[in-house]
Structure 1
Amino acid sequence: MLTTLLIVICIFVGLIWFTAKMDSSIESSFRPSGKLTPVEGGIIHWQKQGNGPSLVLIHGLLGNSNNFNELAKTLAQRYTVYSVDRPGSGFSSRYKNTSASFEQQSKMLLEWMKKEGIEKASIAGHSMGGGIALRMAIDAPNVIESVSLLCPLTTPLKGGAGPLSILYIPNEFVRNSVAKTIASPLRSKLGRKQVAQIFHPEPVSISFAVEGGGLLALHSRSFYEGSRDTVSAQGSLHRQQSSYGKIQCPVGVLYGEKDTILNPNEHIEAVTSAIDSAVQKVIPDAGHMIPITQAQTCADFIIEIDSKSRQVD
C-alpha cells in the first residue's frame, strides 16, 4: 500500500516537473511582440500594423494574435489592423476572479479600444472570437461598424468540438489539477494529431507552430484558461443569441465547407435566421482554420462586409 502511494506521488511530482519545464521552454521561445494595456480584470496584449480605418481581429479558443499574421499583413494594405490576444490568451492576462464570460471579454476589449483611442472599428472574429465579436456588436452598437465571422461559434454546442472537447472541465479544482499535471504531457504527445484534426482537410501550415503561435497553446495556462472559456461559452451563447436581431451593422459569416470542429449549418443559421441582411459564404473543401489556410479569401470577405458599412455612411 505504501509502495503504491509512493509511486503515485512520484508520478504526480514528475508530471508537475515536466509541465513546469515545458512551460519554461515555451516562455523562452516567445515574447510579447506588441503592447500591453491594463483594463479592469486584466491586461490586453495587442499588435498594430497598416493605415486606414480600424479593424480588430479576435482569435479563437487556445489561439493568439499570431494566428492572424498572414491575414493581418494582407489587410494592413487597406486598414489599421489591431490583432489582439483575448483575455487569458496569448500574452493577455485575466485576473483570477475575472469571469471568462463573453460579456466580460467584450467589456475588456471595448475598454481597451477606448483607452487606445479607437473610437470606431470593424471586427473580424474567428471561431470563439466570432461569438465575442457578436457580443461586442450587441454591447456597443455605436462603436462596431461591421462584423465578419470566420468559422464562428454562434450558438450553444449540441455536441463536442472535436479534439477541443477535452477542455470542458466545469470543476475548478479538477481543471487546475489537470492543467498542472497531465494536460501538457498528453498534448505534447498528441499535439500533431490534434492540430491536424483542427486544420482538416487542409494541411497544417509549416509556420504555424512558431510564427503562427501554435506552440503557445501547449502552455499549461493556455489549457487552464481555454477550459474556463469553454465552460463559460455555453451560458454566454444562451444569453446572447436572442439579441442577434438587434445588431444593425453589416454582418457576414464565412465557413469552411468541411469544418469538423464546428457545424457550419448550425452556426451560420443562428446568425442568418436572426439578421435578414447577413451575408453567408462557404469555401469549398476548406476546414476550420481558414484565417491561416485561406487568408486571401478571408481578407476579401472582410473587405466585402466592411464595404457595406462604408456605403451606409
Structure 2
Amino acid sequence: MEQAAEAAFPPTGSLIRVDGFTVHAHQEGTGPDLVLIHGASANTRDYTFDMVGKLADRYRVTVFDRPGLGWSEDIGEAALSPQGQAAHLIKAARQLGLQNPLLMAQSYGASVALAWALQDSAAGLVLVSGAMMPWEGRALGAFYEVAQTGLGGVTAVPLIAAFPPYGYARQAVESVAAPESAPQGYADYIGLPLILRRNSIRVNARQVGRLKSHIFEMLPDYPRLTLPVEILHGTADQVTFASVHSEPLHRLLPQSRLTLLEGAGHMAHHTRQAEVIAAIDRLVK
C-alpha cells in the first residue's frame, strides 16, 4: 500500500541531502526568496495545489516538506521540535542559495517559522492560523494521544496504514476547513495516501504531541524578534483559536500586524488566499 502511495504521489521538486538526510524542496519562480512552511500532517502539495503558481511570477518560491513528512526523511529527535526542524531547514535553504527569505507558514508551520527567525535571518514572517502560543489542556484528540505512544505506534498505526481510512481522511480535511469548504480537488491532490503512511503518522503525532512544551521554550525569546510580522487568523477557526494564539502573539510583538478574517476556518491560506498573498506582498514593498 505504501509503495503504491509513493508511486502515485512522487516528489514534485528536488531531493537534496542535508546532514545525511533527504529533504524535499519544490522551487518555482524568480525574485525575492519566499519559503512556505506547511502545517501538521501536510506536505508541499498543500502549497503547490494552487498557491505557488500565484506567487512564482514575482518570488523565488521554495516549499519544503518538514522532516518526517511528505518526501523529507525523519531526522530523529530533532524532528520533534520546531527548533530542530527550523535548524534543519535553514541548512537546506543555505544549500539552495536562499538569501534572507520571507517566511510564510500555516498552523504548526508557524511555530517552525518563528523558530527559524529566532535562529537565523529572515525578511519577515506571514503567520496564518498559527499554533504559536501555549494553550490550556493537551488538545490533541484521541488519535494523536494513541499514535504517539509506544503501544499505539506498533498496533494502531500499522493497522491504519494497512487499511487506510480515506473516507475519514477526506472528512478530516473538510472539518479542518469548516465552516468553510476545502477547495475543489484539494483532497485528491494533497496525497492522502502519503499522509497515511506509518512513519508519517507516527512522526506527525509525536511532533504535535510535543509542540506545547517547545512553544514554552521559545516564548521568552519572542519579544526579541524585530522583523516585520503579518499575523492572519480566521475568527471561526476551531483548530487553533485566534484568541489563544494570534492575538496574544500580536500583543508580544509591537511591530506585528494582526488581520482577523471574519468567518474563516483553519484553512485560511486557501479559503482567504487573496488576503494571505496581500500580506506577503506588503512585506516586500
1:231 matched to 2:209: yes
Report the 3-state secondary structure (helix = DSSP H, G, I; strand = E; otherwise coil) of the residue aligned with 1:273.
helix
Q: How does 1:43-122 map to 2 (within 5 A)?
A: 43-69=22-48, 70-96=50-76, 98-122=78-102
Letter in 2 for 1:201: P
Of 170-179 and 49-58, the range deviating more from structure 2: 170-179
- Which of 240, 243, 248 pairs up with 1:265? 243
Aligned length: 283
Of 60-69 and 205-214, the range deviating more from structure 2: 205-214
CA contact (8 A) 1:71 1:296 kept: no
CA distance in 1, matches of 2:230, 2:279: 8
Return 5+ residue gaps in structure 2 as ranges: none
CA distance in 2, matches of 1:205, 1:215: 19
Q: Which has the larger radius of gyration?
A: 1
Give 1:113 deviation, angstroms.
Answer: 1.0
Question: Which residue of structure 2 lines up, in the alignment, with residue 172 of structure 1?
Answer: 150
Give 1:28 deviation, angstroms.
Answer: 2.4
Give 1:266 deviation, angstroms.
Answer: 0.9
Question: Which residue of structure 2 lines up, in the alignment, with residue 11 of structure 1?
Answer: none
CA distance in 1, matches of 2:64, 2:130: 17
TM-score using structure 1 length: 0.84
| 1:225-264 C-alpha deviation (Å, 9 max, x unpaired) | 1112112212211100111101111011101121111111
Summarize the Cα distance change of 1:286–1:87 in structure 2 as closer, same or farther, 3 Å threshold. same
Give 1:41 deviation, angstroms.
Answer: 6.4
CA contact (8 A) 1:49 1:82 kept: yes
- Which of 29, 33, 38 pairs up with 2:8? 29
Summarize the Cα distance change of 1:117–1:91 in structure 2 as closer, same or farther, 3 Å threshold. same
Identity %: 24
1:245 matched to 2:223: yes
Question: Which residue of structure 2 lines up, in the alignment, with residue 139 of structure 1?
Answer: 119
Letter in 1 for 2:10: R
| 1:125-152 C-alpha deviation (Å, 9 max, x unpaired) | 1000001100100111xx2110000101
1:124 matched to 2:104: yes
Letter in 1 for 2:41: L
Superposition RMSD in Å: 2.0
Give 1:165 deviation, angstroms.
Answer: 5.6
CA distance in 2, matches of 1:194, 1:271: 27
Structure with the higher fraction of residues in helix conformation? 1
Report the 3-state secondary structure (helix = DSSP H, G, I; strand = E; otherwise coil) of the residue aligned with 1:144.
coil
CA distance in 1, matches of 2:263, 2:197: 31
Letter in 2 for 1:56: V
Give 1:161 deviation, angstroms.
Answer: 5.0
CA distance in 1, matches of 2:95, 2:59: 19
CA distance in 1, matches of 2:134, 2:20: 25
Letter in 1 for 2:42: G
